[in-house]
A and B are shown apart, each in its own frame.
Chain A
Amino acid sequence: MSANEIPSREVARRVFADEFNDAAFTFKESDDDRAPVYLLLPTGAKANRVFFVGTLTEKDDVGEDNEYWRGRIVDPTGTFFVYAGQYQPEAASTLRDLEPPAYVAVVGKPRTYETDDGNVNVSVRPESIQVVDAATRDRWVVETAERTLDRIDAFDDEGNEYARMAREEYDLPIDRYTESAISALESLEEGDGDELGLDGGQAVAPEGSAEDADLQPEP
Chain B
Amino acid sequence: MSDLRTHAAEIAEQFSDHLDVEEDEVEERLHNLVEEYRVPIEEARRSVINSYLEEAGLERDEIGRGGNDEVHLADIDQDEQWIDVTAKVVELWEPRSDSIAQVGLLGDESGRTKFVAFETSDLPKLEEGAVYRLGNVVTDEYQGNFSVKLNKTTSIEELDEDIEVGDDAITVEGALVDIQSGSGLIKRCPEEGCTRVLQNGRCSEHGDVEGEFDLRIKGVLDDGEEVYEVIFGRDVTEDLTGVTLEEAQQMAMDALDTTVVVDEMREDLLGTYYRVSGPELGRYVLADDIERLTEPADPEAVLIKARSI
Closest 9 CB pairs of A and B: A105-B271, A130-B271, A14-B224, A185-B299, A142-B297, A139-B297, A138-B297, A130-B270, A107-B177
Residues from chain B with Cβ under 8 Å of A188 in the complex? 297, 299
Given contact pairs A51-B222, A139-B273, A146 touches B302 in the complex (Cβ within 8 A): yes
Q: Is B94 an interface residue (CB 8 A)?
A: no
Q: Is A143 an interface residue (CB 8 A)?
A: yes
- Which residues of A approach B to under 8 Å, CB–CB? 8-14, 49, 51, 53, 90, 104-107, 127-130, 132-133, 135-136, 138-147, 149, 152-153, 178, 181-182, 185-186, 188-189, 193
Within 8 A of A (CB), among B125-172: none
Q: Is B220 an interface residue (CB 8 A)?
A: yes
Partner of B266, one of A8, A11, A128: A128
Given contact pairs A104-B271, A128-B270, A152-B309, A51 touches B298 in the complex (Cβ within 8 A): no
Residue of A nearest to B304 (CB): A185
Residue of A nearest to B295 (CB): A135
Q: Are B306 and A181 in contact (CB under 8 A)?
A: yes
Total residues of chain B contacting the partner, CB 8 A: 31
How far, in whole Å, are A153 and B229 apart by their CA atoms in the complex?
A: 28
Q: Is B293 an interface residue (CB 8 A)?
A: yes
How far, in whole Å, are A178 and B294 apart by their CA atoms in the complex?
A: 27
Residue of A nearest to B263 (CB): A90
Given contact pairs A130-B271, A135-B294, A193-B297, A142 touches B302 in the complex (Cβ within 8 A): yes
Residues from chain A with Cβ under 8 Å of B223 in the complex? 143
Known interface pairs A133-B294, A143-B297, A182-B307; 13 further A-B residue pairs with C-beta atoms within 8 A, sorted by A's residue number: A9-B220, A12-B224, A51-B175, A127-B178, A128-B266, A128-B270, A136-B273, A142-B297, A142-B302, A143-B224, A149-B309, A178-B306, A185-B306
Partner of A107, one of B178, B229, B298, B306: B178
How far, in whole Å, are A95 and B223 apart by their CA atoms in the complex?
A: 25
Q: Is B17 an interface residue (CB 8 A)?
A: no
Residues from chain B with Cβ under 8 Å of A141 in the complex? 297, 299
Q: Is B193 an interface residue (CB 8 A)?
A: no
19 intermolecular pairs with C-beta atoms under 8 Å apart: A11-B224, A12-B224, A12-B227, A51-B175, A51-B177, A53-B271, A105-B271, A106-B271, A128-B177, A128-B266, A133-B294, A135-B297, A146-B302, A149-B305, A181-B302, A182-B306, A188-B299, A189-B299, A189-B303
Q: Is B54 an interface residue (CB 8 A)?
A: no
Q: Are A128 and B178 in contact (CB under 8 A)?
A: yes
Residues from chain A with Cβ under 8 Å of B296 in the complex? 135, 138, 193
How far, in whole Å, are A106 and B178 apart by their CA atoms in the complex?
A: 11
Q: Are B270 and A11 in contact (CB under 8 A)?
A: no
How far, in whole Å, are A149 and B224 apart by their CA atoms in the complex?
A: 13
CB distance from B102 to the nearest CB of A (A): 31
Q: Is B272 an interface residue (CB 8 A)?
A: yes
Q: Are A11 and B306 in contact (CB under 8 A)?
A: no
Residue of A nearest to B175 (CB): A51
How far, in whole Å, are A70 and B293 apart by their CA atoms in the complex?
A: 30
Residues from chain B with Cβ under 8 Å of A105 in the complex? 175, 270-272
How far, in whole Å, are A140 and B222 apart by their CA atoms in the complex?
A: 12
Residue of A nearest to B298 (CB): A142
Q: Is B226 an interface residue (CB 8 A)?
A: yes
Partner of B293, one of A9, A104, A139: A139
Q: Are A51 and B224 in contact (CB under 8 A)?
A: yes
Q: Is B122 an interface residue (CB 8 A)?
A: no
Residues from chain B with Cβ under 8 Å of A146 in the complex? 302, 305
How far, in whole Å, are A144 and B294 apart by their CA atoms in the complex?
A: 17
Q: Is B225 an interface residue (CB 8 A)?
A: yes
Q: Are B303 and A12 in contact (CB under 8 A)?
A: no
How far, in whole Å, are A144 and B175 apart by their CA atoms in the complex?
A: 12
Residue of B nearest to A182 (CB): B306
Residues from chain A with Cβ under 8 Å of B302 in the complex? 142, 145-146, 149, 181, 185
How far, in whole Å, are A136 and B269 apart by their CA atoms in the complex?
A: 12
